Amino acid sequence: MFKVFIAADIEGICGYVDWAENQPEDSLHRAEMTAEVNAAIEGALAGGATDIVVSDMHMLKQNIYHGRLSGRASLISGTKRRWMWMDTVQACDLVFLIGLHAGGGTPAAVLPHTMNTLITGMQLNGVEAGEAFISAACAGHFGVPVGLATGDQAFIEEIGTYLPDLQTVVVKEAIGSCAALNFHPEIVKQKIKEAAQNATEKGIKGGFKPFCLPEPVELQLQVTWPGYAEALTLVPGVRRKGGREVYYSGTLPQVISVISLFVNWISKAI
C-alpha cells in the first residue's frame, strides 16, 4: 500500500489568471484543474502508488469533477474543515501540491494570497507562511513528506526556499498579478505526469523528509480590519498586538485550529 494525498488549488493551474466574479469557477478552469490532477494521479500510479485521495482546496472547495478523476480516486470537497484542506493526510504516505500559488504580497506572482484577501500576512515561527507552507507543516506533523509541487514560477521559487528537494513543474510565468505567460496545457500535463512518477518512486524509497515545525509553534497573523483581531482574542491564549495583528503560541494542531477558525468562520461572519 502506498497512498498519495493530492491537495489541489486553482490559482496555479495553467490558464487561470484572475478570480471569477462568482462561484462556482467556470467549466474551462475546473476542467483544466481536474486534468492536471489526473496527470499527477496517472504519474503516481505509474510510479507505484496504490491509492489516491484528492483534496479540493479552492474557495468553496467544489471545483474538481469527481466523475472525471483517474485512478478511482476519492475526493474531499467542501469547506469548514478542521485541518483546512489537509484532513486525512495522516492516513497517507506522500503529498502532492497541484495548482498552488505564492503567498500574499509576493511580487511577480499570479494571484498571490494566503487563504483569503482579509489576511495581509501570516508567519509561523517567524517565517512568512503561504498555503503550501501550511500544507507541508500539517503533513509533516503526521510524518508525511511532500514530493511534488506545481504552479507558477514565483510559487515554485517560494516553495524551494523551505523544501529544496521536491519534484516541481512550472505551468506559467507571471506577467502581472492577474496575467501570465501560460505554457501549453499538453506540455504541462506531460511534465506533471513525469514529475509525479519520479516523486512517487523516490517517495516509496523514503527519499523525502517530512517538513516539521518545532513546537511550540508561534503564529503571527495580520488582518485587514480590527474587528477580526478582536474576534480572535476570544480564543484563550490569543493576544492582540496592535489593531490588526494577533499572536498565539501552541502545538501545531492548536495553531491550525486558530487559523481554521478565522478562515472558515470569523472571516465569513463579520
* Helical ranges in the chain per DSSP H: 27-46, 131-141, 153-160, 185-204, 226-232, 252-261, 267-269
- Close Cβ partners of 131 (under 8 Å, ≥ 6 residues apart): 9, 57, 100, 101, 103, 114, 115
Contact 77, 56 (CB under 8 A): yes
Spatial distance between the Cα atoms of 255 and 248, rounded to a whole number of angstroms: 7
Task: Assign 151 to helix, strand or coil.
Answer: strand
Residue 105: partners with Cβ closer than 8 Å, 6 or more residues away: 112, 120, 121, 128
Q: Min. distance of Cβ 79 from Zn ion in angstroms?
A: 12
Query: Could you write out the DSSP letters of every residue in 64-89?
Result: S-GGG-GGG-EEE--S--TTTT-TTG
Range in contact with Zn ion (rule: CB under 5 A) among 50-58, 133-141, 145-153, 226-234: 50-58
Q: Which of 58, 61, 189, 193 binds Zn ion (CB under 5 A)?
A: 58
Is residue 29 within the footprint of Zn ion (CB under 5 A)?
no
What are the φ/ψ torsions at residue 6 (nearest 5 degrees)?
-110, 110
Selected binder of Zn ion within 4, 6, 7, 9 (CB under 5 A): 9
CB nearer to Zn ion: pick between 11 and 201: 11
244 binds Zn ion (CB under 5 A): no
Nearest distance from residue 115's CB to Zn ion, in Å?
8
Segment near Zn ion (CB under 5 A); pick from 15-23, 57-65, 168-176, 183-191: 57-65
Residue 150 sits at the vertex; the CA angle it makes with 203 and 93, to the nearest 5 degrees, is 25
| Of residues 113 and 141, the one with the C-beta less far from Zn ion | 113
In the complex, residue closest to Zn ion by CB: 58
Which residue number, 10 or 246, has a Cβ lying nearer to Zn ion?
10
User: Which one, 180 or 217, has the nearer CB to Zn ion?
Assistant: 180
Binding mask 60-99 for Zn ion (x = CB under 5 A): ----------------------------------------
Instruction: Read off the DSSP letter of residue 184.
Output: P
Q: Kindly state the smallest distance separating residue 176's Cβ from Zn ion, in Å.
A: 18
Q: How far is the CB of 8 from Zn ion (least distance, A)?
A: 9
Note the residues at the interface with Zn ion (CB under 5 A): 9, 11, 58
